[in-house]
Structure 1
Amino acid sequence: MTPSDAAPRPDEHDEHDEDARLAARLVAEAARLAHRMRAEGLETRHKTSVSDVVTAADHAAEDLVRDRLRAERPDDAILGEEHGTVAGSSGRTWLVDPVDGTYNFVSGLPWWCSAVALRDGEDLVLGAVHDPVADATYVGGPGLTPTRDGVPLEPLVDRALASTCAATYLHPPLHDTEVGAAWRRAVGGLATVRVLGSMSMDSLAVATGRVGVLFGHSVAPWDELPGAAIIRGVGGVTRHVEAGGVDWYVAGAPTAVAEVCAALRGEPRDR
Protein backbone atom coordinates (compact mmCIF):
# COMPACT_ATOMS: atom_id res chain seq x y z
CA MET A 1 0.00 0.00 0.00
CA THR A 2 1.43 3.39 -1.00
CA PRO A 3 1.34 6.40 1.35
CA SER A 4 -1.40 8.03 -0.73
CA ASP A 5 -3.53 4.85 -0.50
CA ALA A 6 -3.17 4.49 3.23
CA ALA A 7 -6.13 5.20 5.49
CA PRO A 8 -5.97 8.73 6.93
CA ARG A 9 -5.18 9.21 10.59
CA PRO A 10 -8.24 10.15 12.71
CA ASP A 11 -6.93 13.70 13.09
CA GLU A 12 -5.57 14.10 9.56
CA HIS A 13 -8.52 16.02 8.11
CA ASP A 14 -8.59 18.41 11.09
CA GLU A 15 -4.85 18.97 10.67
CA HIS A 16 -5.25 19.69 6.97
CA ASP A 17 -8.11 22.09 7.67
CA GLU A 18 -5.84 23.98 10.06
CA ASP A 19 -3.08 23.98 7.46
CA ALA A 20 -5.53 25.31 4.86
CA ARG A 21 -6.62 28.15 7.13
CA LEU A 22 -2.99 29.03 7.82
CA ALA A 23 -2.11 28.89 4.12
CA ALA A 24 -5.03 31.16 3.23
CA ARG A 25 -3.92 33.75 5.79
CA LEU A 26 -0.30 33.61 4.63
CA VAL A 27 -0.97 34.21 0.94
CA ALA A 28 -3.42 37.03 1.65
CA GLU A 29 -0.98 38.78 3.97
CA ALA A 30 1.95 38.29 1.57
CA ALA A 31 0.02 39.67 -1.41
CA ARG A 32 -1.24 42.67 0.52
CA LEU A 33 2.27 43.45 1.73
CA ALA A 34 3.62 43.28 -1.82
CA HIS A 35 0.77 45.45 -3.08
CA ARG A 36 1.49 48.12 -0.45
CA MET A 37 5.20 48.09 -1.25
CA ARG A 38 4.53 48.51 -4.96
CA ALA A 39 2.33 51.51 -4.26
CA GLU A 40 5.21 53.08 -2.33
CA GLY A 41 7.68 52.51 -5.17
CA LEU A 42 10.10 49.67 -5.90
CA GLU A 43 13.39 49.13 -7.66
CA THR A 44 13.56 46.13 -9.99
CA ARG A 45 16.51 43.79 -10.44
CA HIS A 46 16.91 41.36 -13.33
CA LYS A 47 17.79 37.73 -12.61
CA THR A 48 18.27 35.57 -15.73
CA SER A 49 16.72 37.81 -18.41
CA VAL A 50 14.94 41.09 -19.01
CA SER A 51 11.61 39.40 -18.23
CA ASP A 52 12.89 37.52 -15.14
CA VAL A 53 12.77 40.18 -12.45
CA VAL A 54 12.72 40.45 -8.66
CA THR A 55 11.95 43.26 -6.24
CA ALA A 56 12.21 43.97 -2.53
CA ALA A 57 8.53 43.06 -2.32
CA ASP A 58 9.31 39.48 -3.42
CA HIS A 59 11.83 39.17 -0.62
CA ALA A 60 9.70 40.87 2.03
CA ALA A 61 6.63 38.79 1.20
CA GLU A 62 8.63 35.56 1.35
CA ASP A 63 10.19 36.64 4.65
CA LEU A 64 6.71 37.20 6.06
CA VAL A 65 5.58 33.70 5.08
CA ARG A 66 8.79 32.02 6.26
CA ASP A 67 8.70 33.77 9.65
CA ARG A 68 5.09 32.74 10.23
CA LEU A 69 5.77 29.15 9.21
CA ARG A 70 8.81 28.95 11.47
CA ALA A 71 6.63 30.12 14.35
CA GLU A 72 3.52 28.02 13.62
CA ARG A 73 4.99 24.94 11.87
CA PRO A 74 8.55 24.81 13.29
CA ASP A 75 9.13 21.15 12.30
CA ASP A 76 8.19 21.63 8.64
CA ALA A 77 10.68 22.38 5.88
CA ILE A 78 10.28 25.45 3.66
CA LEU A 79 11.31 25.87 0.01
CA GLY A 80 10.98 29.43 -1.26
CA GLU A 81 11.68 30.92 -4.68
CA GLU A 82 13.85 33.73 -3.36
CA HIS A 83 15.57 32.35 -0.25
CA GLY A 84 15.92 28.62 -0.87
CA THR A 85 15.43 25.87 1.71
CA VAL A 86 14.86 25.76 5.46
CA ALA A 87 15.35 22.20 6.75
CA GLY A 88 12.63 20.42 8.72
CA SER A 89 12.11 17.14 10.58
CA SER A 90 8.40 16.39 9.97
CA GLY A 91 8.65 15.15 6.38
CA ARG A 92 6.40 18.02 5.28
CA THR A 93 7.50 20.88 3.03
CA TRP A 94 5.90 24.25 2.37
CA LEU A 95 6.64 25.75 -1.05
CA VAL A 96 6.44 29.53 -1.27
CA ASP A 97 6.06 31.82 -4.29
CA PRO A 98 5.75 35.27 -2.71
CA VAL A 99 4.97 37.11 -5.95
CA ASP A 100 4.11 34.88 -8.90
CA GLY A 101 4.10 37.00 -12.04
CA THR A 102 6.66 39.58 -10.91
CA TYR A 103 7.03 41.05 -14.41
CA ASN A 104 3.27 41.73 -14.40
CA PHE A 105 3.49 43.00 -10.83
CA VAL A 106 6.14 45.62 -11.57
CA SER A 107 4.52 46.56 -14.90
CA GLY A 108 1.12 47.30 -13.38
CA LEU A 109 -0.55 44.32 -15.06
CA PRO A 110 -3.21 42.61 -12.90
CA TRP A 111 -2.23 38.93 -13.45
CA TRP A 112 -0.07 38.23 -10.36
CA CYS A 113 -0.56 36.62 -6.97
CA SER A 114 1.02 35.12 -3.86
CA ALA A 115 0.97 31.33 -3.53
CA VAL A 116 1.98 28.47 -1.24
CA ALA A 117 1.70 24.70 -1.36
CA LEU A 118 2.13 21.97 1.25
CA ARG A 119 3.62 18.59 0.43
CA ASP A 120 3.79 15.65 2.87
CA GLY A 121 6.62 13.50 1.55
CA GLU A 122 5.70 13.08 -2.12
CA ASP A 123 1.97 13.65 -1.51
CA LEU A 124 0.57 17.05 -2.47
CA VAL A 125 -1.70 18.12 0.39
CA LEU A 126 -2.93 21.60 -0.52
CA GLY A 127 -2.33 24.83 -2.34
CA ALA A 128 -3.40 28.40 -1.59
CA VAL A 129 -3.37 31.42 -3.91
CA HIS A 130 -4.40 35.01 -3.23
CA ASP A 131 -5.50 37.12 -6.21
CA PRO A 132 -4.89 40.70 -5.00
CA VAL A 133 -6.85 42.38 -7.80
CA ALA A 134 -10.04 40.48 -6.93
CA ASP A 135 -9.00 40.34 -3.24
CA ALA A 136 -9.92 36.64 -3.34
CA THR A 137 -8.24 33.68 -1.68
CA TYR A 138 -8.38 30.18 -3.14
CA VAL A 139 -7.37 27.10 -1.17
CA GLY A 140 -7.82 23.37 -1.73
CA GLY A 141 -6.21 20.07 -2.59
CA PRO A 142 -6.75 16.53 -3.84
CA GLY A 143 -8.48 15.62 -0.58
CA LEU A 144 -9.63 19.11 0.41
CA THR A 145 -12.56 20.74 -1.41
CA PRO A 146 -11.23 23.87 -3.18
CA THR A 147 -12.88 27.12 -2.20
CA ARG A 148 -12.83 30.80 -3.06
CA ASP A 149 -13.18 32.82 0.14
CA GLY A 150 -14.81 29.79 1.75
CA VAL A 151 -17.29 29.08 -1.06
CA PRO A 152 -16.71 25.70 -2.79
CA LEU A 153 -15.68 25.76 -6.44
CA GLU A 154 -17.72 23.88 -9.01
CA PRO A 155 -16.33 20.58 -10.35
CA LEU A 156 -14.29 20.95 -13.51
CA VAL A 157 -16.07 20.27 -16.80
CA ASP A 158 -14.08 18.11 -19.23
CA ARG A 159 -13.18 19.69 -22.58
CA ALA A 160 -11.49 18.67 -25.79
CA LEU A 161 -8.48 20.68 -26.94
CA ALA A 162 -10.13 22.02 -30.11
CA SER A 163 -12.93 23.62 -28.11
CA THR A 164 -10.94 25.37 -25.43
CA CYS A 165 -8.31 27.98 -24.60
CA ALA A 166 -4.85 27.28 -23.20
CA ALA A 167 -2.74 29.44 -20.93
CA THR A 168 0.86 28.84 -21.96
CA TYR A 169 4.14 30.57 -22.75
CA LEU A 170 7.31 30.23 -24.76
CA HIS A 171 10.06 32.81 -24.60
CA PRO A 172 10.92 34.16 -28.08
CA PRO A 173 14.53 32.86 -28.19
CA LEU A 174 13.14 29.30 -28.08
CA HIS A 175 10.70 29.60 -30.96
CA ASP A 176 13.13 28.18 -33.54
CA THR A 177 14.34 25.25 -31.39
CA GLU A 178 13.07 21.73 -30.71
CA VAL A 179 11.27 23.16 -27.70
CA GLY A 180 9.49 25.62 -29.98
CA ALA A 181 8.53 22.84 -32.40
CA ALA A 182 6.90 20.86 -29.56
CA TRP A 183 5.05 23.98 -28.38
CA ARG A 184 3.75 24.74 -31.86
CA ARG A 185 2.41 21.19 -32.18
CA ALA A 186 0.43 21.67 -28.98
CA VAL A 187 -0.98 25.12 -29.71
CA GLY A 188 -1.93 24.04 -33.23
CA GLY A 189 -4.84 22.00 -31.89
CA LEU A 190 -6.32 24.75 -29.71
CA ALA A 191 -9.27 27.06 -30.18
CA THR A 192 -7.10 29.96 -28.92
CA VAL A 193 -4.11 30.77 -26.71
CA ARG A 194 -3.45 33.23 -23.89
CA VAL A 195 0.03 34.12 -22.62
CA LEU A 196 -0.68 35.70 -19.25
CA GLY A 197 2.48 35.39 -17.14
CA SER A 198 1.62 33.74 -13.81
CA MET A 199 1.37 29.96 -13.44
CA SER A 200 -0.67 30.09 -10.24
CA MET A 201 -3.09 32.63 -11.68
CA ASP A 202 -3.35 30.49 -14.83
CA SER A 203 -4.17 27.57 -12.54
CA LEU A 204 -7.02 29.50 -10.95
CA ALA A 205 -8.37 30.23 -14.43
CA VAL A 206 -8.30 26.50 -15.18
CA ALA A 207 -9.84 25.53 -11.82
CA THR A 208 -12.72 27.98 -12.33
CA GLY A 209 -13.40 26.95 -15.93
CA ARG A 210 -12.23 30.15 -17.61
CA VAL A 211 -9.37 28.30 -19.34
CA GLY A 212 -9.38 24.64 -20.29
CA VAL A 213 -5.72 23.71 -19.96
CA LEU A 214 -2.30 25.18 -19.16
CA PHE A 215 1.17 24.04 -20.09
CA GLY A 216 4.75 25.21 -19.88
CA HIS A 217 8.24 23.75 -19.74
CA SER A 218 10.85 23.63 -16.98
CA VAL A 219 8.32 24.70 -14.34
CA ALA A 220 9.65 25.22 -10.81
CA PRO A 221 7.80 23.41 -7.99
CA TRP A 222 6.66 26.65 -6.36
CA ASP A 223 5.10 27.64 -9.68
CA GLU A 224 3.48 24.25 -10.26
CA LEU A 225 2.22 22.90 -6.96
CA PRO A 226 -0.03 25.61 -5.44
CA GLY A 227 -2.29 25.62 -8.49
CA ALA A 228 -1.89 21.89 -9.14
CA ALA A 229 -3.45 21.12 -5.76
CA ILE A 230 -6.50 23.26 -6.53
CA ILE A 231 -6.88 21.88 -10.07
CA ARG A 232 -6.76 18.29 -8.79
CA GLY A 233 -9.27 19.16 -6.09
CA VAL A 234 -11.91 20.18 -8.66
CA GLY A 235 -11.39 17.06 -10.77
CA GLY A 236 -8.65 18.20 -13.14
CA VAL A 237 -5.46 16.32 -13.84
CA THR A 238 -1.77 17.24 -13.94
CA ARG A 239 0.90 15.53 -16.02
CA HIS A 240 4.60 15.77 -16.91
CA VAL A 241 5.88 14.79 -20.35
CA GLU A 242 9.30 14.96 -22.03
CA ALA A 243 9.37 16.66 -25.43
CA GLY A 244 11.93 18.74 -27.31
CA GLY A 245 14.55 17.88 -24.69
CA VAL A 246 12.70 19.50 -21.77
CA ASP A 247 10.10 18.56 -19.18
CA TRP A 248 6.61 19.96 -19.79
CA TYR A 249 3.97 20.44 -17.10
CA VAL A 250 0.37 20.16 -18.32
CA ALA A 251 -2.76 20.66 -16.19
CA GLY A 252 -6.49 21.04 -16.66
CA ALA A 253 -9.45 19.19 -18.13
CA PRO A 254 -8.54 15.50 -18.57
CA THR A 255 -9.23 15.25 -22.32
CA ALA A 256 -7.40 18.47 -23.15
CA VAL A 257 -4.43 17.45 -21.00
CA ALA A 258 -4.15 14.10 -22.78
CA GLU A 259 -4.31 15.82 -26.16
CA VAL A 260 -1.64 18.39 -25.24
CA CYS A 261 0.68 15.63 -24.00
CA ALA A 262 0.21 13.67 -27.23
CA ALA A 263 0.82 16.77 -29.35
CA LEU A 264 3.97 17.71 -27.45
CA ARG A 265 5.34 14.21 -28.09
CA GLY A 266 4.43 14.47 -31.77
CA GLU A 267 1.86 11.67 -31.74
CA PRO A 268 -0.63 11.68 -34.63
CA ARG A 269 -3.94 13.39 -33.91
CA ASP A 270 -7.15 11.39 -34.05
CA ARG A 271 -9.24 12.17 -37.08
Structure 2
Amino acid sequence: MTPEDVALASELVVEAAALAARIRADGGLETRAKTSVSDVVTEADLAAEAHIVERLGRERPDDGLLGEEGTFREGASGRRWVIDPVDGTYNFSTDSDYWCSAVALAEGDRVLLGAVAHHATGTVVVGGPGVPTTRNGEPLPDIEDAELAGLGAATYAHPGFIGTGAGFDAWVRAAALPATIRMLGSGSMDLVGVATGRLGCWFQHSTPDWDWLPGTALVAGLGGSAERVEAHGLVWSIAGPPTAVRELGDAIRGVAA
Protein backbone atom coordinates (compact mmCIF):
# COMPACT_ATOMS: atom_id res chain seq x y z
CA MET A 1 0.00 0.00 0.00
CA THR A 2 1.23 3.47 -0.89
CA PRO A 3 0.42 7.09 0.04
CA GLU A 4 -1.22 7.24 -3.39
CA ASP A 5 -3.65 4.50 -2.29
CA VAL A 6 -4.55 6.55 0.78
CA ALA A 7 -5.18 9.65 -1.31
CA LEU A 8 -7.16 7.68 -3.88
CA ALA A 9 -9.39 6.08 -1.24
CA SER A 10 -10.19 9.51 0.21
CA GLU A 11 -10.99 10.96 -3.21
CA LEU A 12 -13.21 8.02 -4.15
CA VAL A 13 -15.50 8.33 -1.14
CA VAL A 14 -15.70 12.12 -1.34
CA GLU A 15 -16.65 11.97 -5.02
CA ALA A 16 -19.15 9.14 -4.52
CA ALA A 17 -20.86 10.86 -1.60
CA ALA A 18 -21.07 14.15 -3.50
CA LEU A 19 -22.58 12.38 -6.51
CA ALA A 20 -25.17 10.58 -4.39
CA ALA A 21 -26.10 13.78 -2.55
CA ARG A 22 -26.48 15.64 -5.84
CA ILE A 23 -28.79 12.98 -7.24
CA ARG A 24 -30.92 13.10 -4.08
CA ALA A 25 -31.04 16.90 -4.15
CA ASP A 26 -32.24 16.86 -7.75
CA GLY A 27 -35.42 15.12 -6.54
CA GLY A 28 -37.39 12.17 -7.78
CA LEU A 29 -35.21 9.58 -6.07
CA GLU A 30 -36.56 6.14 -6.97
CA THR A 31 -36.17 3.47 -4.30
CA ARG A 32 -36.35 -0.29 -4.83
CA ALA A 33 -36.50 -2.88 -2.05
CA LYS A 34 -33.90 -5.66 -2.10
CA THR A 35 -34.40 -8.15 0.75
CA SER A 36 -36.89 -6.15 2.85
CA VAL A 37 -38.69 -2.83 3.04
CA SER A 38 -35.69 -1.34 4.89
CA ASP A 39 -33.01 -2.91 2.65
CA VAL A 40 -33.23 -0.66 -0.39
CA VAL A 41 -31.26 0.60 -3.35
CA THR A 42 -31.58 3.84 -5.30
CA GLU A 43 -30.17 5.13 -8.57
CA ALA A 44 -27.76 7.16 -6.42
CA ASP A 45 -26.24 3.94 -5.01
CA LEU A 46 -25.80 2.56 -8.51
CA ALA A 47 -24.34 5.76 -9.95
CA ALA A 48 -21.91 6.22 -7.04
CA GLU A 49 -20.69 2.63 -7.30
CA ALA A 50 -20.29 2.96 -11.07
CA HIS A 51 -18.18 6.10 -10.56
CA ILE A 52 -15.84 4.34 -8.12
CA VAL A 53 -15.57 1.28 -10.34
CA GLU A 54 -14.77 3.37 -13.42
CA ARG A 55 -12.00 5.24 -11.65
CA LEU A 56 -10.49 2.12 -10.12
CA GLY A 57 -10.61 0.45 -13.51
CA ARG A 58 -8.41 3.23 -14.86
CA GLU A 59 -6.09 3.74 -11.89
CA ARG A 60 -5.89 0.27 -10.29
CA PRO A 61 -6.64 -2.14 -13.16
CA ASP A 62 -4.89 -5.10 -11.51
CA ASP A 63 -6.82 -4.91 -8.25
CA GLY A 64 -9.98 -6.90 -7.56
CA LEU A 65 -13.32 -5.22 -6.84
CA LEU A 66 -16.32 -6.09 -4.67
CA GLY A 67 -19.28 -3.71 -4.46
CA GLU A 68 -22.53 -3.86 -2.54
CA GLU A 69 -24.54 -3.16 -5.67
CA GLY A 70 -23.19 -6.11 -7.64
CA THR A 71 -19.69 -5.21 -8.78
CA PHE A 72 -17.29 -8.16 -8.79
CA ARG A 73 -13.95 -8.42 -10.52
CA GLU A 74 -11.11 -10.80 -9.90
CA GLY A 75 -7.74 -9.10 -9.71
CA ALA A 76 -4.19 -10.09 -10.51
CA SER A 77 -2.48 -8.14 -7.71
CA GLY A 78 -3.85 -10.01 -4.70
CA ARG A 79 -5.52 -6.79 -3.53
CA ARG A 80 -9.25 -6.04 -3.52
CA TRP A 81 -11.23 -2.82 -3.16
CA VAL A 82 -14.51 -3.23 -1.23
CA ILE A 83 -17.09 -0.59 -2.08
CA ASP A 84 -20.19 0.69 -0.29
CA PRO A 85 -21.34 3.63 -2.41
CA VAL A 86 -24.12 4.66 0.01
CA ASP A 87 -24.06 3.03 3.43
CA GLY A 88 -27.33 3.70 5.22
CA THR A 89 -29.47 3.78 2.08
CA TYR A 90 -32.75 3.62 4.01
CA ASN A 91 -31.64 6.72 5.92
CA PHE A 92 -30.50 8.31 2.66
CA SER A 93 -33.82 7.57 0.96
CA THR A 94 -35.82 9.09 3.83
CA ASP A 95 -33.81 12.34 3.82
CA SER A 96 -31.70 11.56 6.90
CA ASP A 97 -28.06 12.67 6.88
CA TYR A 98 -26.85 9.56 8.73
CA TRP A 99 -25.30 7.93 5.67
CA CYS A 100 -21.89 7.86 4.05
CA SER A 101 -19.79 6.49 1.21
CA ALA A 102 -17.11 3.97 2.17
CA VAL A 103 -14.32 1.91 0.65
CA ALA A 104 -11.72 -0.49 1.97
CA LEU A 105 -8.57 -1.94 0.48
CA ALA A 106 -7.74 -5.50 1.52
CA GLU A 107 -5.07 -8.06 0.70
CA GLY A 108 -6.40 -11.56 1.18
CA ASP A 109 -8.20 -11.58 4.52
CA ARG A 110 -6.23 -8.60 5.83
CA VAL A 111 -7.67 -5.10 5.62
CA LEU A 112 -5.07 -2.47 4.74
CA LEU A 113 -7.04 0.73 4.54
CA GLY A 114 -10.48 2.23 5.00
CA ALA A 115 -12.01 5.56 4.02
CA VAL A 116 -15.44 6.97 4.89
CA ALA A 117 -16.95 10.26 3.73
CA HIS A 118 -19.89 11.89 5.53
CA HIS A 119 -21.14 14.39 2.99
CA ALA A 120 -23.42 16.34 5.33
CA THR A 121 -20.50 17.51 7.48
CA GLY A 122 -17.72 17.38 4.90
CA THR A 123 -15.90 14.84 7.04
CA VAL A 124 -13.48 12.27 5.62
CA VAL A 125 -11.95 9.67 7.92
CA VAL A 126 -9.19 7.47 6.53
CA GLY A 127 -6.73 5.01 8.07
CA GLY A 128 -5.75 1.42 8.66
CA PRO A 129 -3.52 -0.92 10.65
CA GLY A 130 -0.39 0.67 9.16
CA VAL A 131 -1.87 4.11 8.50
CA PRO A 132 -2.76 6.22 11.57
CA THR A 133 -6.39 7.25 11.26
CA THR A 134 -7.11 10.90 10.47
CA ARG A 135 -10.19 13.07 10.19
CA ASN A 136 -9.89 15.69 7.45
CA GLY A 137 -6.14 15.19 7.59
CA GLU A 138 -5.82 15.66 11.36
CA PRO A 139 -4.67 12.68 13.46
CA LEU A 140 -7.25 11.23 15.82
CA PRO A 141 -6.32 10.13 19.35
CA ASP A 142 -5.86 6.43 19.98
CA ILE A 143 -8.81 4.44 21.30
CA GLU A 144 -8.29 3.95 25.04
CA ASP A 145 -9.12 0.61 26.57
CA ALA A 146 -12.39 0.60 28.51
CA GLU A 147 -14.91 -1.74 30.05
CA LEU A 148 -18.23 -2.17 28.32
CA ALA A 149 -20.36 -0.98 31.24
CA GLY A 150 -19.20 2.60 30.77
CA LEU A 151 -19.69 2.79 27.00
CA GLY A 152 -22.46 3.45 24.53
CA ALA A 153 -22.76 0.64 21.98
CA ALA A 154 -24.08 0.92 18.45
CA THR A 155 -25.79 -2.17 17.09
CA TYR A 156 -28.72 -3.34 14.98
CA ALA A 157 -31.54 -5.85 15.32
CA HIS A 158 -33.79 -6.18 12.28
CA PRO A 159 -37.46 -6.52 13.27
CA GLY A 160 -37.55 -9.98 11.68
CA PHE A 161 -34.69 -11.08 13.95
CA ILE A 162 -36.37 -10.05 17.20
CA GLY A 163 -37.50 -12.99 19.33
CA THR A 164 -36.18 -15.65 16.95
CA GLY A 165 -34.21 -17.96 19.24
CA ALA A 166 -30.63 -18.44 20.39
CA GLY A 167 -29.19 -15.79 18.07
CA PHE A 168 -31.53 -13.12 19.36
CA ASP A 169 -30.95 -14.27 22.93
CA ALA A 170 -27.22 -13.71 22.34
CA TRP A 171 -27.93 -10.21 21.04
CA VAL A 172 -30.01 -9.47 24.15
CA ARG A 173 -27.19 -10.64 26.45
CA ALA A 174 -24.75 -8.32 24.69
CA ALA A 175 -27.17 -5.39 24.46
CA ALA A 176 -27.87 -5.54 28.22
CA LEU A 177 -24.25 -4.80 29.17
CA PRO A 178 -23.33 -1.31 27.82
CA ALA A 179 -24.34 1.96 29.43
CA THR A 180 -26.73 2.51 26.51
CA ILE A 181 -27.34 1.25 22.98
CA ARG A 182 -27.99 3.04 19.70
CA MET A 183 -29.45 1.69 16.45
CA LEU A 184 -28.74 4.26 13.76
CA GLY A 185 -28.72 2.35 10.48
CA SER A 186 -25.23 2.69 8.98
CA GLY A 187 -22.43 0.36 9.99
CA SER A 188 -19.63 2.48 8.57
CA MET A 189 -21.01 5.64 10.19
CA ASP A 190 -21.26 3.78 13.49
CA LEU A 191 -17.65 2.62 13.20
CA VAL A 192 -16.55 6.17 12.41
CA GLY A 193 -18.29 7.04 15.66
CA VAL A 194 -16.16 4.46 17.47
CA ALA A 195 -13.02 5.86 15.82
CA THR A 196 -13.86 9.46 16.74
CA GLY A 197 -15.12 8.72 20.26
CA ARG A 198 -18.74 9.60 19.58
CA LEU A 199 -19.67 5.94 20.20
CA GLY A 200 -17.93 3.49 22.47
CA CYS A 201 -18.19 0.20 20.57
CA TRP A 202 -20.17 -1.65 17.92
CA PHE A 203 -21.56 -5.14 17.35
CA GLN A 204 -23.79 -6.78 14.76
CA HIS A 205 -24.29 -10.19 13.21
CA SER A 206 -24.14 -11.23 9.55
CA THR A 207 -22.26 -8.10 8.51
CA PRO A 208 -21.08 -8.05 4.87
CA ASP A 209 -17.53 -6.96 4.11
CA TRP A 210 -18.59 -3.57 2.73
CA ASP A 211 -20.23 -2.71 6.08
CA TRP A 212 -17.31 -4.08 8.12
CA LEU A 213 -13.94 -3.53 6.49
CA PRO A 214 -13.90 0.26 5.91
CA GLY A 215 -14.79 1.11 9.50
CA THR A 216 -12.72 -1.57 11.19
CA ALA A 217 -9.65 -0.33 9.30
CA LEU A 218 -10.23 3.05 10.93
CA VAL A 219 -10.58 1.46 14.38
CA ALA A 220 -7.41 -0.60 13.84
CA GLY A 221 -5.52 2.55 12.87
CA LEU A 222 -6.23 3.87 16.37
CA GLY A 223 -5.22 0.77 18.30
CA GLY A 224 -8.75 -0.52 18.74
CA SER A 225 -9.86 -4.12 18.44
CA ALA A 226 -12.00 -5.68 15.70
CA GLU A 227 -13.05 -9.32 15.84
CA ARG A 228 -15.47 -11.73 14.25
CA VAL A 229 -17.02 -14.37 16.49
CA GLU A 230 -19.00 -17.44 15.41
CA ALA A 231 -21.85 -18.27 17.77
CA HIS A 232 -25.35 -19.72 17.49
CA GLY A 233 -25.09 -20.23 13.75
CA LEU A 234 -24.18 -16.60 13.09
CA VAL A 235 -20.99 -14.61 12.53
CA TRP A 236 -20.83 -11.57 14.81
CA SER A 237 -18.68 -8.52 14.09
CA ILE A 238 -17.44 -6.55 17.12
CA ALA A 239 -15.23 -3.45 17.30
CA GLY A 240 -14.06 -1.03 19.96
CA PRO A 241 -11.69 -0.99 22.94
CA PRO A 242 -10.12 -4.44 23.52
CA THR A 243 -11.77 -5.07 26.91
CA ALA A 244 -15.23 -4.11 25.66
CA VAL A 245 -14.80 -6.28 22.57
CA ARG A 246 -13.84 -9.24 24.74
CA GLU A 247 -16.85 -8.68 27.00
CA LEU A 248 -19.23 -8.48 24.05
CA GLY A 249 -17.79 -11.66 22.54
CA ASP A 250 -18.17 -13.52 25.84
CA ALA A 251 -21.78 -12.37 26.19
CA ILE A 252 -22.63 -13.41 22.64
CA ARG A 253 -21.07 -16.85 23.13
CA GLY A 254 -22.75 -17.23 26.51
CA VAL A 255 -19.49 -17.36 28.46
CA ALA A 256 -20.07 -16.55 32.13
CA ALA A 257 -18.32 -13.41 33.37
Q: Shift in Å at residue 98 of structure 1?
A: 0.2
> 1:242-269: per-residue Cα shift (whole Å, max 9, x none)?
2232110000111110000000011112
What runs of 5+ residues in structure 2 fail to find an aligned partner?
Answer: none
Secondary structure, in 3 states, of the residue corresponding to 2:143? coil
Q: What is the aligned-residue identity percentage?
A: 53
Is residue 162 from structure 1 mapped to residue 149 from structure 2 by the alignment? yes
Alignment pair present for 1:45 and 2:26: no
What is the correspondence of 1:68-79 to structure 2 with a 5 Å cutoff?
A: 68-79=55-66
User: How far apart, in 1, do the equivalents of 2:208 and 2:108 lie?
Assistant: 17
The TM-score, its normalising length taken from structure 2, stands at: 0.97
In structure 1, give the amino acid aligned to 2:113: L
**Aligned-residue offset at 1:109:** 1.3
| Pick aligned residue for 1:215 from 193, 198, 203 | 203
Alpha-carbon separation, structure 1, partners of 2:227 and 2:80: 21
1:87 paired to 2:74: yes
4+ residue runs over 4 A deviation: none
Deviation string, structure 1 residues 148-177 (Cα, Å, up to 9, x no partner): 111111111111111111000011221112
CA apart distance, 1:16: 2.1
Mapped contact 1:181–1:244 kept (Cα < 8 A): no
- Could you say which residue in structure 2 is the equivalent of 1:35? 21
TM-score by length of 1: 0.92
Match of 2:231 among 239, 243, 249: 243
- Does 2:215 correspond to 1:227? yes
- Aligned match of 2:6: 20
Could you tell me how far apart the structure 2 residues matched to 1:228 and 1:207 are?
A: 9
Q: How many residues align?
A: 255
Cα RMSD (Å): 0.9
Q: Which of the residues 124, 139, 147 maps onto 1:137?
A: 124
Which residue identity is paired with 1:18? E
Q: Is the 8 A contact 1:99 1:115 kept in 2?
A: yes
Partner Cα distance (1:124, 1:156) in 2 = 18
In terms of mean alpha carbon deviation, does 119-128 or 188-197 score higher? 119-128
Q: Distance in 2 between matches of 1:247 and 1:120?
A: 21
Shift of 1:32: 0.3
Partner Cα distance (1:118, 1:196) in 2: 25
CA distance in 1, matches of 2:117, 2:86: 10
CA distance in 2 between counterparts of 1:48 and 1:228 reads 25
Deviation, 1:133, is 1.3
